[in-house]
């Protein structure tokens, strides 16, 4: 599906993988939702002198318009298609990968080619060659332009496996031999660019290179990538490119990239002092700084409150367990490459937990349950540890230690639908608290290899469908995409740029109840096995925090902002009164800090840079009348008010998620 965007809209993206080696962008409809309740620096009256910060725009209708307030606004509409919506665009991107490989080998004859697929928003190709620089990319792009201008035909040829092998060996392309061995279908297909270059390929491609608009292509970056993703294999040079149908689409995409860069949570996290990852402690381990920790505390409190209201019992479980537990759960068999090495303690092997679910099963198993006890709902903000390659670590999005908002429901077969519907309602409530109200939903069904009989799979799958239809949510079916232990629902939230992030998941599990042999006593006093439902709403606190940072560009709404207000004296003569105001605000539950030691304009600029929602300026007049003068970041001047009025209005706005 193509989408029509004006230049004041933003192209959209999706993280199908969090690896920095993969292009993170994809096109989806833009979302428009933000309500800001932030306040800005204020005027100040000191006798006859006015201190005023230049007025900023007073309101934004959406995140997109907020992000682009500085951008020009051409009148024309720009259509940004996707690979799925435009077969022509997919062919262009696939052909560009081949053209780029041909250009590379013309410029660097010793370069060996490997694979070169199309991806969301473009293409890449991996080469075994000397390291490349940005200057090299410019040379390669010029050579691509020459190839495109020659309007060379792309010709499909079918050959036998033996003939393909003979040709590959004749040009000394060892990686292609390995690729050929992995192709099971016959005949083998080859695509030629003119009579100068060819590659093993199934297509599709454009008819000639002249079908590509060279002004709609850009080579973006080069990165290292292990052959087949295996650290024991050679490091390759991966060149990323983007390709579009026309120049306007490319400009819109590049503009989106700049906006995404501006919102990068790693930069904002450093600028606002929210979190860090310390080399001394190790990669992928997050340090939550005081301001970031406050936001985490708010997230956790919101999460816990809603869960307890919905009938969940909270749990806390250990960070390690005997290795045998993970053998019973199957993680040692199916997930070992993502687990840290075991440690020996008093001649027993222990394991850092990669998942919380076995612990919750053990808590269930501590006593015999009756059918009358169901449903049983337990929830935990449980920190887990998973081994990730250092090259794949990426800010808060790919880490080695993170806290899952995990919950498990034990229920009867005829309770599955109602419990799933309850989870969908809870998910919607929590996500809306943080400003997310548009989702992409996928229902994944039974794969070829699965545990559990056909009847229970069918019942569970229909229960998930019924719950989604009851909810009125549209969804797509991923046929055969379920886990081996049960069907699942995956939900992606859409952020201010229209990017989609995998957060929420609901999974029915027939495996762990069987592996741990958990049962209950039914109405006939017979032992039966309960249904287990795994579910997470936020996914992980670290990743969700990263999404929040980028969604708001660090400009958090009032209720979520780590510092809601700064009290600023015009001179140090008002500092004592400012401290008294600060104490009163803190006592009322408002997160506040008093800043001094600089001239007022600089104090205001510093507060702006730190994206402080509210500023209260104090001078002699305010001290005399025991008031403050308030201005918001976006609503502008709010004027003079008493401390009690400020407290009341701020708390009401924070509680209601509205403007002050």
357 catalytic, yes or no? yes
| Closest to 495 (Cα-Cα) out of 2, 15, 4, 3 | 15
Instruction: Indicate which residue of 291, 386, 421, 535 is catalytic.
Output: 386
Spatial neighbors of 198 by CB under 8 A, at least 6 apart, are 157, 167, 190, 191, 192
Q: Contact, 369 vs 520, CB < 8 A?
A: yes
Tokens at 189, concatenated: 């297909």
Catalytic status, residue 514: no
Please name which of 176, 234, 252 lies closest in space to residue 7, comparing C-alpha atoms: 252
Note if 408 is an active site residue.
yes
Among residues 357, 411, 503, 578, which one is catalytic?
357
Instruction: Give dist(CA 628, CA 641) in Å, integer.
Output: 6
Task: Give the C-alpha separation, 116 to 179, whole Å.
Answer: 12
Instruction: Please check whether residue 632 is in contact with residue 639, taking contact to mean a CB–CB distance below 8 angstroms.
Output: no
CA–CA separation, 535 and 505 (whole Å): 5
Bridge partners for 14 per DSSP: 500
On whether the CB atoms of residues 403 and 383 are closer than 8 A, the answer is yes
Query: In the chain, count of helices (H) and strands (E)?
Result: 19, 33
Instruction: Report the C-alpha gap between 398 and 50 in whole angstroms.
Output: 49
Count Cβ atoms within 10 A of the Cβ of residue 564 and give its class: 0-12 exposed, 13-18 middle, 19 or more buried: buried
Active site residue 633: no
- Cα distances from 177 to residues 113, 229, 253, 414, 514, in angstroms, run 11, 17, 36, 54, 44
Tell me if the bond preceding 341 is cis, omega within 30° of 0: no
Dig out the tokens for 437 from the structure. 């109200």
Cα distance between residue 63 and residue 31, in whole Å: 8
Active-site choice (534, 543, 611, 633)? 534
Q: DSSP alpha helices (H): ranges in 264-373? A: 265-271, 290-309, 323-329, 331-334, 357-365
Catalytic residue among 408, 417, 566, 611: 408
Count other Cβ atoms within 10 Å, centred on residue 426.
23
Catalytic residue among 136, 199, 248, 406: 406
Please state, in angstroms and rounded to a whole number, the distance separating the CA atoms of residues 568 and 596.
6
| Residue whose C-alpha is closest to residue 321's, from 358, 350, 360, 348 | 350
The active-site residue, picked from 105, 404, 507, 610, is 404
Annotated active-site residue 91? The verdict is: no
- Start-to-end CA distance of the chain, whole Å, equals 40
404 a catalytic residue: yes
- Helix (H) / strand (E) containing 392: none
Give the C-alpha separation, 149 to 215, whole Å: 11
- Is residue 342 part of the annotated active site? The answer reads no
Dihedral pair phi/psi, residue 80, rounded to 5°: -115, 95
Query: Which of 488, 492, 535, 633 is flagged as catalytic?
Result: 488
- Separation between Cα atoms, residue 3 and residue 85, nearest integer Å: 10
Active site amino acids: 357, 386, 404, 406, 408, 488, 534
């Amino acid at each position: 599906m193509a989408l029509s965007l004006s230049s004041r809209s933003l192209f959209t993206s999706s993280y199908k993988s969090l690896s920095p080696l993969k292009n993170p962008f994809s096109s989806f409809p833009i979302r428009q939702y933000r309500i800001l309740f932030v306040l800005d620096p204020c005027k100040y009256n000191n006798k006859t002198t006015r201190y005023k910060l230049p007025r900023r725009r007073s309101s934004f209708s959406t995140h997109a318009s907020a992000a682009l307030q500085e951008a020009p606004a051409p009148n024309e509409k720009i259509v940004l298609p996707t690979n799925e919506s435009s077969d022509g665009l997919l062919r262009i991107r696939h052909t560009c990968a081949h053209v780029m490989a041909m250009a590379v080998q013309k410029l660097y004859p010793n370069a060996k080619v490997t694979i070169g697929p199309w991806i969301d928003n473009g293409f890449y190709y991996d080469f075994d060659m000397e390291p490349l620089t940005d200057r090299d990319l410019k040379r390669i792009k010029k050579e691509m332009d020459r190839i495109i201008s020659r309007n060379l035909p792309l010709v499909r040829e079918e050959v036998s496996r033996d003939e393909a092998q003979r040709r590959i060996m004749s040009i000394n392309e060892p990686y292609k031999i390995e690729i050929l061995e992995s192709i099971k279908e016959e005949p083998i297909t080859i695509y030629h660019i003119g009579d100068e270059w060819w590659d093993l390929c199934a297509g599709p491609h454009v008819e000639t290179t002249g079908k590509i608009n060279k002004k709609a292509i850009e080579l973006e970056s080069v990165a290292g990538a292990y052959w087949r993703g295996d650290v024991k294999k050679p490091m390759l040079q991966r060149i990323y490119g983007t390709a579009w149908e026309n120049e306007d689409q490319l400009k819109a995409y590049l503009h989106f990239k700049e906006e995404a860069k501006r919102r990068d949570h790693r930069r904002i996290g450093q600028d606002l002092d929210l979190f860090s990852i310390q080399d001394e402690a190790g990669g992928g381990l997050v340090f939550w700084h005081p301001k970031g920790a406050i936001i985490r505390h708010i997230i956790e409190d919101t999460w816990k409150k809603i869960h307890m209201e919905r009938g969940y019992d909270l749990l806390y479980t250990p960070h390690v367990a005997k290795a045998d537990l993970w053998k019973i759960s199957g993680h040692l068999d199916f997930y070992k490459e993502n687990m840290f090495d075991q440690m020996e303690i008093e001649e027993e092997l222990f394991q850092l937990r990669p998942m919380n679910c076995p612990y919750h099963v053990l808590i269930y198993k501590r006593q015999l349950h009756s059918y009358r006890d169901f449903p049983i709902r337990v929830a935990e903000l449980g920190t887990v540890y998973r081994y990730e390659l250092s090259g794949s670590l990426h800010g808060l999005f790919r880490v080695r230690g993170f806290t899952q908002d995990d919950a498990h429901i034990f229920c009867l077969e005829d309770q599955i639908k109602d419990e799933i519907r309850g989870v969908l309602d809870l998910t919607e409530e929590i996500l809306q608290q943080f400003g997310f109200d548009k989702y992409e939903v996928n229902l994944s069904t039974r794969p070829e290899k699965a545990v559990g009989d056909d009847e229970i799979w069918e019942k569970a799958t229909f229960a998930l469908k019924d719950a989604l239809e009851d909810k009125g949510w549209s969804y797509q079916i991923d046929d055969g995409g379920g886990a081996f232990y049960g069907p699942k629902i995956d939900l992606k939230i859409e952020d201010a740029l229209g990017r989609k992030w995998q957060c929420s998941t609901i999974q029915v599990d027939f495996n762990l109840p069987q592996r741990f042999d958990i049962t209950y006593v039914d109405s006939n006093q017979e032992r039966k096995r309960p249904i287990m439902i795994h579910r997470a709403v936020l996914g992980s606190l670290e990743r969700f925090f990263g999404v929040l940072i980028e969604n708001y560009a660090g400009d958090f709404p009032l209720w979520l902002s780590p510092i809601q207000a700064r009290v600023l004296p015009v001179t140090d003569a008002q500092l004592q009164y400012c401290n008294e105001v600060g104490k009163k605000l803190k006592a009322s539950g408002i997160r506040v800090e008093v800043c001094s030691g600089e001239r007022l304009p600089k104090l205001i600029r510093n507060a702006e840079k730190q994206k402080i929602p509210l500023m209260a300026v104090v001078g002699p007049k305010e001290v005399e009348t025991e008031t403050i003068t308030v201005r918001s970041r976006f609503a502008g001047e709010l004027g003079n008010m008493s401390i009690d009025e400020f407290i009341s209005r701020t708390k009401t706005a924070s509680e209601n998620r509205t403007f002050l």
